[in-house]
């Protein structure tokens, strides 16, 4: 294999965070925007439908609404609040691989 200029080009933007469409809330299977991804404008009561149940390891809220992730289906269980237009973040605590539903919660103010 010849090492040429092409090898010095950056990885495809489609491999990471940049896949997240502006205006959406995105979740990723892997850290730093890697792996499988799902994106939402309003949410999902059951992340099995997106193949992302108990898999969220990183996320990015590119929407103008607060979003909330939940351990249980149908917006139940322990929740995690994500401020509008914040991130991207990789989860390093116990909430890794926990989220089972997610929705926009525009009236909510996240605690600091
Ligand atoms: Ca869960």
Q: Determine the Cα–Cα distance for residues 62 and 84; give it in Å rounded to an integer.
A: 7
pLDDT at 105: 98
Residues around the ion ligand 1 (C-beta < 5 A) = 54, 71, 100
Distance (angstroms) between ligand 1 centre and the Cα of 92 equals 16
Tens of pLDDT, residues 70-112: 999 999 999 999 999 999 999 999 999 999 999 999 999 999 7
Q: Determine the Cα–Cα distance for residues 102 and 92; give it in Å rounded to an integer.
A: 19
Distance (angstroms) between ligand 1 centre and the Cα of 37 equals 17
19-104 adopts what CATH topology?
A: Gamma-B Crystallin; domain 1 (2.60.20)
Distance (angstroms) between ligand 1 centre and the Cα of 97 equals 7
So where are the chain's domains? 19-104
The pTM score is 0.86
Cβ within 8 Å of residue 95, ≥6 positions away: 69, 78, 80
Neighbouring-strand partners of residue 24 = none
Distance (angstroms) between ligand 1 centre and the Cα of 44 equals 13
Distance (angstroms) between ligand 1 centre and the Cα of 79 equals 10
Q: Determine the Cα–Cα distance for residues 87 and 10; give it in Å rounded to an integer.
A: 22
């Amino acid at each position: 294999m010849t090492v040429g200029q092409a090898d010095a080009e950056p990885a495809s933007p489609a491999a990471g965070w940049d896949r997240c469409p502006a205006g959406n809330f995105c979740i990723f299977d892997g850290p730093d925007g890697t792996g499988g991804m799902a994106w939402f404008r309003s949410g999902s009561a059951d992340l099995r439908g997106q193949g992302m149940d108990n898999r969220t390891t990183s996320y990015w809220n590119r929407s103008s609404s607060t979003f909330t992730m939940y351990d249980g289906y149908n917006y139940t269980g322990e929740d995690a609040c994500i401020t509008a237009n914040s991130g991207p973040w990789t989860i390093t605590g116990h909430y890794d691989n926990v989220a089972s539903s997610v929705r926009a919660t525009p009236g909510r103010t996240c605690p600091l």
